């Protein structure tokens, strides 16, 4: 983990970080995954969203949120006038866990320095954690997502504070459509917060 931290800190920009992950052999998930799923969207965007880990479709395409969850995520963003030119999208873990299982705490810990560096380098104004695992890992929340969602928190990069919000993961919404009302509120809160931040 100290290796990963040092390596991640040494990446001067996002392309270097991606190249570093391509070479990194410290995460066992890399062995079973087809490829690295680093990011999609615009790294200059004010809004960054972070999910849990790639699924099957993402593993094939090499881009986050391109499967069914991704289609729903695109609709959530479209509701507030945002597409992938106005958002930067990544996952806590950049390799698909076998059978889409939840990443283990060890796997997550190994990947954490990289996603932290990715957030620091992208330097968004607003960070949105999609689902409980992302919120627990990045925001340190202990509550479940049902309790933690919809509240603004600070995400500390080490050099800067970023306003952060957790909301339901789109995969959860596919199973539990009733959650969509809450996510709608969260999307409006994100829209308002974006309007308050520095112009693009």
**Interface contacts to ligand URA, rule CB under 6 A:** 51-55, 58, 64-65, 69-70, 91, 171
Helix runs in the chain, H state only = 2-10, 14-23, 29-32, 56-61, 68-78, 105-122, 132-139, 145-148, 170-175, 180-196
Taking the complex as a whole, how short is the minimal distance between the CB of residue 73 and ligand URA, in angstroms? 8
Contact (CB, 8 A) for 176 and 69? no
Q: How far apart are the C-alpha atoms of 143 and 128, rounded to whole Å? A: 16
Taking the complex as a whole, how short is the minimal distance between the CB of residue 35 and ligand URA, in angstroms? 13
Nearer to ligand URA, 5 or 109 (CB): 109
Nearer to ligand URA, 11 or 89 (CB): 89
* DSSP 8-state secondary structure symbol assigned to residue 102: P
Nearer to ligand URA, 68 or 147 (CB): 68
Taking the complex as a whole, how short is the minimal distance between the CB of residue 70 and ligand URA, in angstroms? 6
Q: Select the residue whose beta carbon is closest to ligand URA and give its number.
A: 51
Contact (CB, 8 A) for 121 and 20? no
Taking the complex as a whole, how short is the minimal distance between the CB of residue 69 and ligand URA, in angstroms? 4
Cβ-Cβ contacts under 8 Å for 34 (sequence gap 6 or more):
59, 60, 96
Taking the complex as a whole, how short is the minimal distance between the CB of residue 188 and ligand URA, in angstroms? 22
Nearer to ligand URA, 41 or 55 (CB): 55
Nearer to ligand URA, 5 or 62 (CB): 62
Q: How far apart are the C-alpha atoms of 119 and 113, rounded to whole Å? A: 10
Nearer to ligand URA, 5 or 182 (CB): 182
Taking the complex as a whole, how short is the minimal distance between the CB of residue 190 and ligand URA, in angstroms? 18
Cβ-Cβ contacts under 8 Å for 39 (sequence gap 6 or more):
14, 18, 63, 64, 88, 89, 90, 118
């Amino acid at each position: 983990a100290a290796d990963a931290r040092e390596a991640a800190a040494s990446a001067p920009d996002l392309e270097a970080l991606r190249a570093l992950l391509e070479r990194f052999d410290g995460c066992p998930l890399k062995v079973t995954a087809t490829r690295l799923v680093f990011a999609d969207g615009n790294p200059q965007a004010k809004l960054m969203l972070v999910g849990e880990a790639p699924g099957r479709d993402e593993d094939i395409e090499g881009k986050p949120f391109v499967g069914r969850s991704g289609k729903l995520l695109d609709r959530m963003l479209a509701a507030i006038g945002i597409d992938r030119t106005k958002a930067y999208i990544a996952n806590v873990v950049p390799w698909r866990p076998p059978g889409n299982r939840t990443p283990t705490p060890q796997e997550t810990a190994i990947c954490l320095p990289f996603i932290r560096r990715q957030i620091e380098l992208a330097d968004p104004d607003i960070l949105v954690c999609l689902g409980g695992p992302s919120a627990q890992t990045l925001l340190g929340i202990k509550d479940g997502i049902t309790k933690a969602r919809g509240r603004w928190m600070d995400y500390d990069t080490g050099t800067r504070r970023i306003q952060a919000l957790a909301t339901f993961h789109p995969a959860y919404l596919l199973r539990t459509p009733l959650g969509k009302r809450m996510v709608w509120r969260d999307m409006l809160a994100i829209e308002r917060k974006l309007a308050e931040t520095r112009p693009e």
